[in-house]
Amino acid sequence: MSRTRVLVVAGLLLTPGAAASAEPPPGAASCSGCHPVGANANTPVPRLLGRGAGELTAAMEAFKSGQKPSTVMGRIAKGFTAPEIAAIAEWYAAQH
């Protein structure tokens, strides 16, 4: 990850309320390709908006390590570093 990207991620994590108003961090927008954004979506894929950052981070790390079985998420999670996962989780947790 580039130094600039690390600084942006760190800034999002350290600025209270910034995640709610900020643009999604790199990688976060691709999640909505499978995970529904609207509350009324009828899908077996769970919503991410408003879920706890710790819960989302733990799930991504479990997918990444193979602890949590998946068809697609394990491969996707392996493409993210721990700081990227944390930034995405914080951003989604701040959305409503």
CA angle 96, 38, 17 (to 5 degrees): 20
Q: Is residue 40 part of a domain?
A: no
In a domain, 15, yes or no: no
Ranking 9-13, 29-33, 65-69, 76-80 by mean pLDDT, the lowest is 9-13
pLDDT computed for residue 38 by the predictor = 78
Confidence of residue 42 (pLDDT cuts 50, 70, 90): confident
Residue 26 lies in a domain: no
* Structural domain boundaries enclosing 89: 52-96
Q: Domain of 87: which CATH number?
A: 1.10.760.10
* Residue 64 falls inside a structural domain: yes
What confidence score (pLDDT) does residue 3 get?
A: 52
Instruction: Tell me the average pLDDT across 43-47.
Output: 89
Q: What pLDDT sits at residue 10?
A: 46
Residue 77 lies in a domain: yes
Residues 6+ apart with CB under 8 A from 34: 45, 72
pLDDT band at 92 (very low <50, low <70, confident <90, very high): very high
pTM: 0.74
- Give the N- to C-terminal CA distance of the chain in Å, as an integer: 28
Asked if residue 14 belongs to a domain, the reply is no
